[in-house]
Structure 1
Amino acid sequence: MINIKEILHSFTDEKLEEFISYLEKKNKRADTKNIQLVNLLITDNLSSKEICLKLYQKDNKAALHALRKRLFKSIIDFTANSNLKEENSEDMQLIKFIISARFFLKKGQYNIGYKILDKAEIAAKEHQLFTILNEIYHSKIQYSYAVSTLKIDEIINDFKENQQQLLLEEQMNIAYAKIRKMLREVQHQHKIIDIQKTIESVLDEHQIKTSSSLSFKSLYQLVQITNISSVQNFDYWNIEAFLLETYELIKNHKSKEKQLFYHIEVLYVIANTLFRNKKFTQSLTYLERMHFYMQQQQRKYYKEYNPKYNLLLALNHNYSGKQEKAIDLLTPFVQQKNVDIIAQLDIYLSLIVFYSQKKDLKKAQNLFTKFYHTDNYYIEKAGIEWTIKKNIIEILLQIDLGNIDIVESRILSFKRGYFNHLKSIHQEKVITFLKLVEIYYKKPEIISTKDFKDKVENSFNWIGKEKEDIFIMSFYAWLKAKMTKQDIYLVTLGFMKH
């Protein structure tokens, strides 16, 4: 049985109000109980029997089952209608064109039918809608016998060229799905694979190479795959050049203006990669470009991307020495409702780091209370890298707060849960860091001794300040500040300079 309660809880408050209004308009009888059922499902944790008693004053399972079926159908109709208004109206318009054209062609009104198909073809080419183009050419070829002036060989040639583009896009889509599935297994099931080789193998299998012949959507998928692989390995340095080169293809792509969502997403990925590589000026340049496109098409995607944009903007400011500005940017999002869950988690965690670096530990601790779910929940929602980062930040925060008993249990839990995964992705430096933290919290008096400093210096195999990930360096800055008895934020900023 489909969980209607789960569906309703996925609606924003605004969307839920719209749905209830939709039901009110649809209801023809005063005794219809669908709105009552919605209110019971979203406000109370009741069993089916308890819901029956509230609705019918008796245990009437058959009536409740029928009511649920009608409510589910209403949900499908409502979400479909609202999404048809909001999403990809171009696709729907062209489908209407094709249906209309086929009606006229069947009636023998060939001139009208082909004129409609010609208009649809121009628009479909602009938006690189290869599936729709396939249907357009199919109809053009089917009735070409009836119009002597039509050049059927040209239409067939267009059809075959489109089929090649469609096949290429579908091959990319299959490769994208396979790679995402494998990466998800790494992320959620701690499977051990060589990510880079896996990606190369799948792309080779489907004969996919980066070129301008790829559709805008396919280039976006290629960028996403590359980005996800870097996240898994904390390695942003080695993908930067590829992303910038791919963006040159995207920037000059003929359908750029028609693919706004993908364009914004790619700009975000590039800005984030540059930030992780500590190239703040370049990151801000791409963020500015992202903000420009967020305002296009009547700000169609502005609300969706605003939290992510402000988060990345705040991170750039914080690590450029503008901490107060960074905090001011993110503070309004703490109480804001209907923020994407991943963006919200990132905002909380970033603010906790900012407050900790500012030595405002009480605010950091209060904000940390929002993380009340299990690690498995956070791995499912935000991924294993995020969950590892959250756990390390909590350990450091508890040490700063002096909660030693909590620190011990958190470190033990971290060792059990993540050491094997960190070894599998060759991130032993995180393990080394935590072992040094453990030595420090057990014997804080040794932190400034020469032996401990030598141990720290000899423990890490750094790949250079330029290539090392910004967050890994931030953790090390915490330890360095303890060793030198300097301000943690100033030490962090010192590490940011090449």
Structure 2
Amino acid sequence: MIDLREIINSFTKEQQQNFVSYLHKKNKRKDAKNVQLVHLLINSEASSKEICIQLYRKDNKVAFHALRKRLFQSLIDFTANSSLKEENSIDIQLIKFILSARTFLQKEQYEVGYKILEKAEIIANEHQLFSILTEIYHTKIEYTHHISTLNIDDLIEKFKENQKQHQLEEYLNIAYAKIRILLNQVNHQHKIIDIKSMIKEVLEESSITISDSLSFKSLYQIIEITNISSSQNYEYWNIEPFLLETYEILKHHKSKDKQLYYHIKVLYVIANTLFRNKKFLASLNYLDLMNLYMHKNSNKYFKEFHLKYRLLLALNHNYIQNQDFAINQLTPFINKKNIDIVSQLDIYLSLIVFYSQQKKYKESQRLFSKFYHTDKWYIEKAGIYWTIKKSILEILLQIDIGNIDIVDSRILSFKRNYFKHLKEIKQERVITYLKLVETYYKNPEIVTSDAFHKKVEDSFDWIERKKEDIFIMSFFAWLKAKMTKQDVYLVTLDLINS
């Protein structure tokens, strides 16, 4: 069943009000229940059965199903009409130009028809609308013999060049779709795929190169593909220059004003990469830009990106010693209903880290109690990497609290569920780390010894600070704090800034 509440709650307040006004205008009967249903979906947490009884004073499933069906159709119509008015106004205008031009050409009013096509071509080129340009060139070529001043060879050359660009955009879209599907298989089905090699192969097959001749969306997709590739092995340091260089192209791109949605997504990817590379102030600068664009066009995409923005804002502030500010950014979302489940899970996990770094273990434990689903459920919702991170954090928290019996069962479960997968994806250092943690919790007195320090030193292939991911450093900081008998948060900051 389609979740109407989720759809309506994804609207801004203004969009919700506009939708209600749309329904009022559309209603022919004064007793129509569609507006009542919208208000109930927005303002209450009642179940479908409870809403049905409120509307009909009895459990009238047939009438309620028909009402839901009509409301869903109204949502489709309203959304489509809004899109036509806003985002796709240029596309629709150009289609009107082409239809109008063809009408004049068929009536043998060739000069008028060609003038309209010329105007359409200029606008379509400005916005890199390759599919519409195909229609324009097709029509121009068809009627070239009626205007002696036109050069058929020039038109054919333009047509072929546009076809190349259009085909390149389509190839990139296909590559992007394939990569996203494979990533889902890695995250949710434990599949082992060399994402980086596969991405390289796909891009080389399509002869894709980065330039401002690509559409804004295509450049975004290349950024996202690159981000996916590097995040698999936590190599965020490797993509930072590429992201910043590509954003310089996007900043001056001819269709940037039309591509607000992708612009916000690009800013988030850059801000997140800078955070993972421990460049907190630079990350905050890009978050400021992201927030600015989230408020454009009457906050059109604010609701969609707000949780991601707040989480990344909090993470940055946590690592520049603004812990209370970081916590205050996220606590309003702890029990909030009707928000994106993956974002909410990320918020819970981040707050658990923040509280644990402050030794507020009761608060951490209280949040962990909200993770009552099976690991299989979390893998399906948030992916295997998130679930592994959650499992390790729980082990560390239970050690800090002193719940030894729980630690034993959690470590055993982790070995059984994830060791094989970690070996297959060549992340043995996670296994090594957990074994060292297990050694500490079973024999805490040896952790300060020279022998244990040497064992830790010899256990990893250490990489330089600027290349190491901030989350991996934070995990290691917990172990180092035990080894040096120091505060875990201060050790974390020292590792990051040293």
Q: What TM-score comes out, normalization by structure 1 length?
A: 0.86
Shift of 1:113: 3.6
Equivalent position amino acid for 2:8 in 1:
F
Q: Which residue does 1:77 correspond to in 2?
A: 77
2:40 paired with 1:43:
no
Shift of 1:470: 0.8
Q: Which residue does 1:234 correspond to in 2?
A: 234
Q: Which residue does 1:304 correspond to in 2?
A: 304
Whole-angstrom CA distance in 2 between matches of 1:117 and 1:377: 55
2:196·2:230 contact (CA, 8 Å) conserved in 1? no
1:277·1:470 contact (CA, 8 Å) conserved in 2? yes
1:82-97 correspondence runs (5 A): 82-97=82-97
User: Which runs of 5 or more residues in structure 2 are unaligned?
Assistant: none
**Any idea what SS the aligned residue of 1:43 has?**
coil
**Count of equivalent residues:** 492
Q: What TM-score comes out, normalization by structure 2 length?
A: 0.86
C-alpha deviations, 1:462-498, integer Å up to 9, x for none? 2222211110110110111122211111000000024
Q: Which residue does 1:178 correspond to in 2?
A: 178
Shift of 1:197: 1.1
Shift of 1:120: 2.5
C-alpha deviations, 1:264-296, integer Å up to 9, x for none? 322321221122122334333433444454455
Between stretches 395-404 and 21-30, larger displacement belongs to 21-30
Between stretches 301-310 and 271-280, larger displacement belongs to 301-310
2:6 paired with 1:9:
yes
1:232·1:385 contact (CA, 8 Å) conserved in 2? no
Q: Which residue does 2:116 correspond to in 1?
A: 116
Shift of 1:224: 0.5
2:87·2:258 contact (CA, 8 Å) conserved in 1? no
Report the CA distance shift for 1:408/1:30 in structure 2 as closer, same or farther (over 3 A): farther
Between stretches 212-221 and 146-155, larger displacement belongs to 146-155
**Any idea what SS the aligned residue of 1:494 has?**
helix
Whole-angstrom CA distance in 2 between matches of 1:496 and 1:246: 27
1:236·1:277 contact (CA, 8 Å) conserved in 2? yes
2:52·2:58 contact (CA, 8 Å) conserved in 1? no
Q: Which residue does 1:275 correspond to in 2?
A: 275
Whole-angstrom CA distance in 2 between matches of 1:249 and 1:456: 45
| CA-based RMSD | 3.4
Shift of 1:262: 2.4
Q: Which residue does 1:260 correspond to in 2?
A: 260
Whole-angstrom CA distance in 2 between matches of 1:177 and 1:485: 49
Report the CA distance shift for 1:406/1:101 in structure 2 as closer, same or farther (over 3 A): farther
Q: Which residue does 1:437 correspond to in 2?
A: 437
Equivalent position amino acid for 2:325 in 1:
K
1:98·1:117 contact (CA, 8 Å) conserved in 2? yes
Whole-angstrom CA distance in 1 between matches of 2:88 and 2:373: 36
C-alpha deviations, 1:233-288, integer Å up to 9, x for none? 22223323333343344345444444333233223212211221223343334334
Equivalent position amino acid for 1:44 in 2:
S
Q: Which residue does 1:461 correspond to in 2?
A: 461
2:4·2:72 contact (CA, 8 Å) conserved in 1? no
Whole-angstrom CA distance in 2 between matches of 1:460 and 1:320: 27
C-alpha deviations, 1:2-50, integer Å up to 9, x for none? x23x344343175667656544543324565666777699833559xx9
Whole-angstrom CA distance in 2 between matches of 1:310 and 1:71: 32
1:416-495 correspondence runs (5 A): 416-495=416-495
User: Which runs of 5 or more residues in structure 1 are unaligned?
Assistant: none
**Any idea what SS the aligned residue of 1:426 has?**
coil
2:391 paired with 1:394:
no
Between stretches 405-414 and 391-400, larger displacement belongs to 405-414
**Any idea what SS the aligned residue of 1:233 has?**
coil
Equivalent position amino acid for 2:47 in 1:
D
Whole-angstrom CA distance in 1 between matches of 2:233 and 2:124: 39
Report the CA distance shift for 1:60/1:486 in structure 2 as closer, same or farther (over 3 A): closer
**Any idea what SS the aligned residue of 1:364 has?**
helix
2:124·2:130 contact (CA, 8 Å) conserved in 1? yes
Equivalent position amino acid for 1:350 in 2:
S
Percent identity for Structure 1 against Structure 2? 65
Whole-angstrom CA distance in 1 between matches of 2:188 and 2:382: 10
Whole-angstrom CA distance in 2 between matches of 1:113 and 1:33: 49
Q: Which residue does 2:353 correspond to in 1?
A: 353
Between stretches 251-260 and 270-279, larger displacement belongs to 251-260
Equivalent position amino acid for 2:379 in 1:
I
Report the CA distance shift for 1:213/1:451 in structure 2 as closer, same or farther (over 3 A): same
**Any idea what SS the aligned residue of 2:305 has?**
helix
